[in-house]
Structure 1
Amino acid sequence: MNRWRALIVLGTAQFLMVLDASVMNVSISQLVEDFDTEVTAIQAVITLYTLVMAAFMLTGGKLGDMFGRRRVFVVGLAVYGVGSGLTAVAPTVGVLALGWSVIEGLGAALVLPALAALVAGAYRGRDRAVAYGVIGGLAGAGIAVGPLLGGWVTTYLTWRLVFAGEVVLVALILLLMRWVPPERTPPRRTRLDTVGVVLSAGGLALVVLAVLQSGTWGWVEPRNPPFTVLGFAPTLYAIALGVGLLYAFCRWERRQEAAGHEPLVSLDLFGNHPLRSGLATLFNQNTILLGLFFVIPLYLQVVQGLDAFETGLKLLPVSVTMLIASMCGSLLLRIASPRAIVRIGLLVLLAATLWLMTTIGPELNGASFAGSMALLGLGMGMLASQLGNVVQSSVAERDRSEAGGLQYTAQNLGSSLGTALIGAILIGALAGSVTSRIESDPRISQAVAGQATVHIEAGLSFIPADQLSATLAQHPEIPPAEATAIVEHYQDAQIEGLKTAVFACAAITAAGLLFTHRLPRDRRPAPTPGD
């Protein structure tokens, strides 16, 4: 039993990181009400959290190499605890973003790369495969407990208690750090590549910010941007600038290596085919997962009118099956290779998203929805059971912090883009559908249709139909019959937008199969240099 004590500590930390985001996702409606804001503002807070982690994960991995993984893990947990405490008492959306998105995000950027490396350093061979299966399972448990616990606390008490409880959990983990064995490799005392930090963080931030704002700014034709570039929306220009900064980052890292300096990340790692394939699949997995976990709560809460606890109950099937499938990772390796398991997981995930599309409608089909959720969790769990071990077991001991940084950068960049891209697709499809429906309805006068189009182009929110009805009632120039027709079209457009967003997730899932051919084909855990 003593050999698994380290896993208890590290697994609890992994559970804590996942719990956070899942609580936020089911509390969207309550957060909008508490802070008197809009869904898009909470979407921005959620995206900023994963963006901060993605932007600084490479830096967190390098700091683990420089100062020791255990030490950076401890410091990161302390920072995370401070952020959780501030989030628990946040009076405004701005303070919420500072405590949760920024401070907790920076703490997680220190914790997660060190966590991945510490798990790999504490276990070898089959034990390592078991350990990463458990880590994946605890991530699934976070997703399982998050919606249910967060939903219950949000509905009957307050979501703030979850973050206060996180402070207590952080303190407990810190007290048990003696269970984590010392590292086998000493820290590498080098200088931090600050230019690389700025270039990588700036590039990632610009790309995700542009995708997040595309629903408001427009992709090409300006919708409601703060400025235009040569008469066009700034979205594609911001993406191009971000890609340019990432290209400059790669060139800078090559120059650092050529000059004999320590880079932020060794680009030679990308020549490692299993590592590269594992990272691409992790990115794909989190893009789908966070995209769906942004869309589905909106469907349940805004369209169906469920509260946060009821939403958590509806999401329970995906959570339970993901937990079970994740925990069975080492057992699955006895009958199939990591590549086969991941491919089957993606196919199961594809079937689940297509099934989910058929369940989205004005009325909730409880049995069919639960079945699609259970299948979704099964596919996600199969991926989670393999990918962490694939990434860490494909590199030598000295490269594990960098691999951990890349691993969680891929995951959190996928999370950021999943929330931002799928959210933008949802709002874009909603706006396009409701505009065309209103303009083609003979019951609605041209004057009212034109006025509605102007408001839609200025920015459309995903709100309950009764809220839209109340807003229209405040405009006496809109006849009641025309207001009723607009609300009907808005409800139909919501369903169409949700289905479009889920279909986009299905397309991303299918594309993910293209990146799996370099995953390991051997069922036995591969020895890595330094083990």
Structure 2
Amino acid sequence: MNRWKTLVVLGTAQFLMVLDASVMNVSISQLVEDFDTEVTAIQAVITLYTLVMAAFMLTGGRLGDMYGRRRVFVVGLVVYAVGSGLTAVAPTVGVLALGWSVIEGLGAALVLPALAALVAGTYQGRDRAVAYGVVGGLAGAGIAVGPLLGGWVTTYLTWRLVFAGEVVLVVAILCLMRWVPPQPPPERRPRLDVAGVVLSASGLAVVVLAVLQSGSWGWVQPRNPPFTVLGFAPTLFAVALGGALIYAFCLHERHREGKGLDPLVSLALFDNRTLRAGLATLFNQNTVLLGLFFVIPLYLQVVQGLDAFETGLRLLPVSITMLAASMSGSLLLRFASPRTIVRAGLLVLVAATLWLIAVIGPELSGGSFAGAMALLGIGMGMLASQLGNTVQSSVRQEERSEAGGLQYTAQNLGSSLGTALIGAILIGALATSVTSRIENDPRVSAAVAEQAGVRVEAGLSFVPADQVAAALAAQPEVPPEEAAAVVESYQDAQINGLKAAVLACTGITAAAVLFTRRLPAVRGSTAGPADSRGPGADG
């Protein structure tokens, strides 16, 4: 039993890292009201949180190599607690973004790579598979508890108490750090590649920012951007700039390695086929997961009018089944290889998202919606049960901090792009659908249709239909019957936008199957560093 004490500490930290993200997702409507802002502003705050983590995960992994993983883990928890405390008292959206998105994001970027490396360094063989299954399961537990706890606290007390409680939980974890054994010190202390940090963080930030703003900027034809480039929307130019910065980062890292200097991350790791497959699948998994967990609460709260607690109850099936499937990782390995389990999980996800598309409508079908959510959790849990262990088991001991940094970079880059991309698809589909419906509705005059088109071009928000009705009622030049027709068109467009966003998740999930070929194909084990390179890695 003593050997599992370490897992209690590390698993609780993993639970903590997931908890507040799921709280934010079910509290979107309350946050919009409390800060007198729009959904897109809260979407930006959520995206910034995962982006900060993605941008600095490699740095966090390298700092673990430099100063010791256990020490960096502790420092990261302290930083995280400071961010949680500031979030709990945030008076404005700006302070919320500073406390939650930036400071907590930086703390998590220190904690998570160290956590992955500490699990890998503490456990071996089947114990390691069990440990990663438990860590994945506790991440699922965070997703399970977050919507329900956060929903109840948000509805009946205040969401701020969740972040105050996180400070207390961090203190408890720090008191139990004696259960985490010291790790062997590095043979030598590497230097931090500051230029690599700047290039990688800037490149990722620019790409995600462009995708996040694509709904209001437009992809090619400008909608409402702050500026244009040669008459076109700046979105694709910003994506290209971000890609160029990432390419420059890769050239810089190869140059440093060629000179015998310490890179931020060794690009030779990407010769590891198993590692590449695991990272790509993690990226796709989190793109879909966070995209759906942004869209579904909007459907439940904005379209169906549920409060945060009711939303948490509706999300409970996905949380329970994800927890159960995540915890069953070592059991599944007795019957199938990691590759087979991951592929089966992706197919389950495709089925769940298609079911969800069929369920989304003006009226909430409780039983069918719960079934789709439960199936979604099974698919996500099957992936979570395998991918963390696959990534860490594919590298050598001295590469585990770098691999942990890459692992959580892939996850959080997927999370930030998932929230940004799926949110942009939702708003884009909403704008296209509402414009088309109003223009083709014979009940709406040309003057009102033109006015609606101008409003859509200026930027459209995903808001309850009664807010649209109230705004139209305040305009005496719009007759009541035309106002009712516009509201009806907006409601229909909301459903179309939600379905389009979930369909995009289906496509991403289906495409993820293409990246699974190099995952371990031997039942009951994952590929080790010796067999993850070269022709025999396919199994």
1:338 aligned onto 2:348: no
2:321, 2:374 within 8 Å by CA — same for their partners in 1?
yes
| Equivalences for residues 227-306 of structure 1 within 5 A | 227-306=227-306
In the alignment, which residue of structure 2 is the partner of 1:317? 317
The Cα of 1:187 is off from its aligned counterpart by 6.3
- Range with greater deviation from structure 2 (117-126 or 439-448): 439-448
In the alignment, which residue of structure 2 is the partner of 1:426? 426
Query: If the length of structure 2 is used for normalisation, what is the TM-score?
Result: 0.98
The Cα of 1:523 is off from its aligned counterpart by 2.2
The Cα of 1:477 is off from its aligned counterpart by 1.2
The Cα of 1:165 is off from its aligned counterpart by 0.2
1:28 aligned onto 2:28: yes
* CA deviations over 1:129-157 (Å, ceiling 9, x no partner): 00000000000000000000000000000
SS at match of 1:63: helix
Distance across 1 between alignment mates of 2:239 and 2:514: 24
1:133, 1:326 within 8 Å by CA — same for their partners in 2?
yes
Distance across 1 between alignment mates of 2:72 and 2:187: 11
| Equivalences for residues 124-143 of structure 1 within 5 A | 124-143=124-143
1:19, 1:143 within 8 Å by CA — same for their partners in 2?
yes
Equivalent AA in structure 1 for residue 129 of structure 2: A
1:217, 1:234 within 8 Å by CA — same for their partners in 2?
yes
1:65, 1:188 within 8 Å by CA — same for their partners in 2?
no
| Runs of 5+ consecutive residues of structure 2 not aligned to the other structure | 531-539
Distance across 1 between alignment mates of 2:168 and 2:112: 19
Equivalent AA in structure 1 for residue 481 of structure 2: A
* CA deviations over 1:245-281 (Å, ceiling 9, x no partner): 0000000000000000000000000010010000000
1:397, 1:529 within 8 Å by CA — same for their partners in 2?
no
Distance across 1 between alignment mates of 2:365 and 2:278: 36
Equivalent AA in structure 2 for residue 460 of structure 1: L
1:60, 1:110 within 8 Å by CA — same for their partners in 2?
yes
2:390, 2:527 within 8 Å by CA — same for their partners in 1?
no
* CA deviations over 1:460-496 (Å, ceiling 9, x no partner): 0000000110011111111111111000000000000
Equivalent AA in structure 2 for residue 149 of structure 1: L
The Cα of 1:441 is off from its aligned counterpart by 1.1
1:66, 1:187 within 8 Å by CA — same for their partners in 2?
no
The Cα of 1:190 is off from its aligned counterpart by 2.2
Distance across 2 between alignment mates of 1:527 and 1:340: 14
Equivalent AA in structure 2 for residue 56 of structure 1: F
1:129, 1:389 within 8 Å by CA — same for their partners in 2?
yes
Alignment length (residue pairs) = 530
In the alignment, which residue of structure 2 is the partner of 1:106? 106
The Cα of 1:185 is off from its aligned counterpart by 4.2
Distance across 2 between alignment mates of 1:501 and 1:342: 23
Distance across 2 between alignment mates of 1:108 and 1:364: 36
In the alignment, which residue of structure 2 is the partner of 1:55? 55
Equivalent AA in structure 2 for residue 321 of structure 1: T
Equivalent AA in structure 2 for residue 347 of structure 1: L
Distance across 2 between alignment mates of 1:394 and 1:529: 5
2:472, 2:483 within 8 Å by CA — same for their partners in 1?
yes
In the alignment, which residue of structure 2 is the partner of 1:7? 7
In the alignment, which residue of structure 1 is the partner of 2:384? 384
In the alignment, which residue of structure 2 is the partner of 1:151? 151
Distance across 2 between alignment mates of 1:400 and 1:53: 18
1:125, 1:527 within 8 Å by CA — same for their partners in 2?
no
| Equivalences for residues 436-515 of structure 1 within 5 A | 436-515=436-515
Equivalent AA in structure 1 for residue 26 of structure 2: V
Describe the shift of the 1:342–1:473 C-alpha distance in structure 2 as closer, same or farther (beyond 3 A). same
In the alignment, which residue of structure 1 is the partner of 2:212? 212
1:163 aligned onto 2:147: no
Distance across 2 between alignment mates of 1:526 and 1:293: 30
Distance across 1 between alignment mates of 2:527 and 2:75: 31
1:27, 1:151 within 8 Å by CA — same for their partners in 2?
yes
2:346, 2:379 within 8 Å by CA — same for their partners in 1?
yes
The Cα of 1:524 is off from its aligned counterpart by 3.4
| Equivalences for residues 351-370 of structure 1 within 5 A | 351-370=351-370
In the alignment, which residue of structure 1 is the partner of 2:117? 117
SS at match of 2:461: coil
In the alignment, which residue of structure 2 is the partner of 1:203? 203
The Cα of 1:522 is off from its aligned counterpart by 1.3
- Range with greater deviation from structure 2 (518-527 or 349-358): 518-527
Distance across 1 between alignment mates of 2:197 and 2:59: 7
SS at match of 2:265: coil
Equivalent AA in structure 1 for residue 221 of structure 2: E
Equivalent AA in structure 2 for residue 270 of structure 1: F
User: Once superposed, what is the RMSD of the aligned Cα atoms?
Assistant: 0.9
Equivalent AA in structure 1 for residue 96 of structure 2: L
Distance across 2 between alignment mates of 1:328 and 1:528: 21
In the alignment, which residue of structure 2 is the partner of 1:189? 189
- Range with greater deviation from structure 2 (182-191 or 230-239): 182-191
Instruction: Tell me the percent identity.
Output: 82
In the alignment, which residue of structure 2 is the partner of 1:525? 525
In the alignment, which residue of structure 1 is the partner of 2:537? none
1:416 aligned onto 2:416: yes
Distance across 2 between alignment mates of 1:284 and 1:465: 33
SS at match of 1:508: helix
1:307 aligned onto 2:307: yes
Distance across 1 between alignment mates of 2:134 and 2:523: 18
2:337, 2:525 within 8 Å by CA — same for their partners in 1?
no
In the alignment, which residue of structure 1 is the partner of 2:533? none
Distance across 2 between alignment mates of 1:431 and 1:486: 13
SS at match of 1:368: helix
| Equivalences for residues 21-100 of structure 1 within 5 A | 21-100=21-100
2:338, 2:525 within 8 Å by CA — same for their partners in 1?
no
SS at match of 2:321: helix
Distance across 2 between alignment mates of 1:104 and 1:461: 28
Equivalent AA in structure 1 for residue 477 of structure 2: E
| Equivalences for residues 389-400 of structure 1 within 5 A | 389-400=389-400
SS at match of 1:263: coil
Describe the shift of the 1:187–1:428 C-alpha distance in structure 2 as closer, same or farther (beyond 3 A). farther
1:121, 1:184 within 8 Å by CA — same for their partners in 2?
no
The Cα of 1:208 is off from its aligned counterpart by 0.3
SS at match of 1:106: helix
1:56, 1:197 within 8 Å by CA — same for their partners in 2?
yes
Distance across 2 between alignment mates of 1:344 and 1:527: 19
SS at match of 1:495: helix
| Runs of 5+ consecutive residues of structure 1 not aligned to the other structure | none
Distance across 1 between alignment mates of 2:156 and 2:186: 49
Equivalent AA in structure 1 for residue 217 of structure 2: W
Distance across 2 between alignment mates of 1:103 and 1:11: 21
Describe the shift of the 1:336–1:421 C-alpha distance in structure 2 as closer, same or farther (beyond 3 A). same
SS at match of 1:292: helix
Equivalent AA in structure 2 for residue 138 of structure 1: L
In the alignment, which residue of structure 2 is the partner of 1:17? 17
Equivalent AA in structure 2 for residue 518 of structure 1: R
In the alignment, which residue of structure 1 is the partner of 2:534? none
Equivalent AA in structure 1 for residue 44 of structure 2: A
